[in-house]
């Protein structure tokens, strides 16, 4: 009887307690170590992005403010969401039903904010490429701050709506004590959290792609005969096209990481959050938060410069905020 009790999450509850997970196998330990490394890398890289854009005044552009908001959501994924998911894989849940519901509320908010930030990034590139003359007046830092705030507010409201039943009746869907399981409306999450945002992103980027291709052809055909003043305009257009390409890669990687999770919802059934299939899909979504700053490192020269300045503590020097990064 004593040996059996030691296998329970709450031995005093006997049949009402979940069985304690068995000691992890070698391959499970390796997976947990890998996920822990991904979490640490996600936190470190996104923290570098946050520090870089926040500190250096030259990086205070509307587009970079959107990247900053995305980096904040990615940072929260690495700092809070991935570590808790790792613990849920091999440990009993000892923090109670309410904390379990609040944790998944945070998950819904952060994931929704990431999707919202991607929509804003796509809209930013759409205006920059398709309406370049009015871009400086339409997309200002003040306007972007309002939209970023609205994004996080809407994400919070969406998270509360999805978590309402779980917050109202904590632990309602668990089968035994020591388990952290909630439920969400799979169809609603599929439509509001994936189909509508992804449709908006794809439509915007298809339009951006068509205009970008036509502009690139126009620049190639006239580049030999342009004047010096026109040459500067061409340089600006090239910069905008490069930014569109970079952020396009960001969106494609986002779609690759998020699509598998939502494809499960196409069955029309509610998703049981906490199941093994859901855990695998969730970790793929979370891995996107690690990939985003890696994309910056390869495609944004300014990020490489700021990393060097941050890790060597040169940002502590006077007037470092005014450093020439671009």
Contact 128, 244 (CB under 8 A): yes
Burial class of 199 by CB neighbour count within 10 A (0 to 12, 13 to 18, 19+): exposed
Residue 175, classed as helix, strand or coil, is coil
pLDDT at 81: 92
Residue 182 sits at φ, ψ, to 5 deg, of: -130, 175
pLDDT at 265: 62
Burial class of 27 by CB neighbour count within 10 A (0 to 12, 13 to 18, 19+): exposed
The rounded distance, in Å, linking the Cα atoms of 86 and 92 is 11
DSSP secondary structure of 82-100? HHHHHHHHHS---S-HHHH
The rounded distance, in Å, linking the Cα atoms of 130 and 203 is 13
Residue 263, classed as helix, strand or coil, is helix
Tell me 309's DSSP state. Answer: H
- Count CB-CB contacts under 10 A for residue 111: 25
Contact partners, residue 106, CB within 8 Å, separation at least 6: 76, 80, 81, 159
Residue 174 sits at φ, ψ, to 5 deg, of: -80, 155
The rounded distance, in Å, linking the Cα atoms of 50 and 54 is 6
Q: What would you report as the CA-atom Rg of the chain, rounded to the nearest whole angstrom? A: 23
- Count CB-CB contacts under 10 A for residue 288: 21
Contact 132, 125 (CB under 8 A): no
pLDDT at 324: 85
Contact 32, 89 (CB under 8 A): yes
Give the HSE-up count for residue 172: Cα atoms under 13 Å, Cβ half-sphere: 12
pLDDT tens by residue, the chain, 326 residues: 344 445 788 888 777 888 887 776 777 788 788 889 999 999 999 999 999 999 999 999 999 999 999 999 999 999 999 998 888 877 888 888 999 999 999 999 999 999 999 899 889 988 988 888 889 999 999 999 999 999 999 999 999 998 988 898 888 888 888 888 888 766 777 788 888 888 898 888 888 878 877 766 666 665 555 544 444 444 445 655 666 677 678 778 888 888 877 776 666 555 555 556 667 777 888 899 999 888 877 778 888 899 999 999 889 888 889 888 87
Distances (CA, A) of 240 to 23, 95, 224, 233, 244: 53, 49, 20, 11, 6
The rounded distance, in Å, linking the Cα atoms of 66 and 76 is 16
Helices (H), 95-227: 97-130, 135-138, 141-168, 186-190, 196-222
Residue 226, classed as helix, strand or coil, is coil
Cα maximum dimension of the chain: 89
| Residue matched to tokens 């052809």 | 217
pLDDT at 256: 85
Per-residue tokens: 278: 């859901």
CATH number for the region 23-322 comes to 1.20.1070.10
Contact 46, 75 (CB under 8 A): yes
Strand partners, 184: 271
pLDDT at 49: 93
pLDDT at 1: 39
């Amino acid at each position: 009887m004593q040996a059996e009790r030691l296998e329970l999450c709450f031995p005093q509850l006997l049949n009402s307690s979940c069985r304690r997970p068995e000691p992890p196998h070698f391959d499970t330990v390796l997976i947990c170590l890998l996920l822990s490394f991904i979490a640490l890398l996600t936190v470190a890289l996104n923290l570098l992005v946050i520090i870089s854009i926040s500190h250096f005044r030259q990086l205070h552009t509307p587009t970079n403010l959107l990247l900053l908001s995305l980096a904040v959501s990615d940072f929260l994924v690495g700092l809070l969401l991935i570590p808790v998911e790792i613990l849920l894989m091999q440990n009993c849940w000892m923090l109670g039903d309410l904390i379990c519901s609040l944790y998944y509320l945070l998950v819904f908010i952060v994931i929704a904010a990431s999707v919202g930030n991607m929509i804003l990034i796509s809209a930013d590139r759409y205006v920059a490429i398709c309406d370049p003359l009015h871009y400086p007046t339409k997309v200002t830092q003040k306007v972007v701050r309002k939209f970023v705030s609205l994004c996080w507010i809407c994400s919070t409201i969406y998270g509360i709506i999805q978590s309402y039943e779980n917050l109202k009746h904590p632990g309602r869907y668990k089968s035994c004590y020591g388990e952290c399981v909630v439920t969400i409306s799979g169809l609603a999450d599929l439509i509001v959290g994936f189909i509508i945002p992804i449709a908006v992103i794809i439509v915007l980027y298809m339009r951006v792609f068509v205009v970008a291709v036509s502009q690139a052809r126009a620049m190639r055909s006239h580049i030999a005969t342009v004047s010096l003043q026109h040459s500067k305009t061409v340089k600006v257009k090239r910069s905008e096209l490069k930014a569109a390409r970079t952020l396009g890669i960001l969106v494609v990687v986002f779609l690759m990481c998020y699509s598998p999770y939502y494809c499960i919802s196409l069955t029309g059934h509610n998703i049981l959050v906490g199941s093994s299939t859901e855990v695998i899909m969730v970790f793929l979504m979370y891995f996107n938060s690690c990939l985003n700053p890696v994309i910056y490192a390869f495609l944004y020269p300014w990020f490489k410069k700021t990393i060097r300045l941050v890790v060597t503590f040169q940002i502590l020097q006077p007037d470092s905020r005014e450093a020439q990064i671009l």
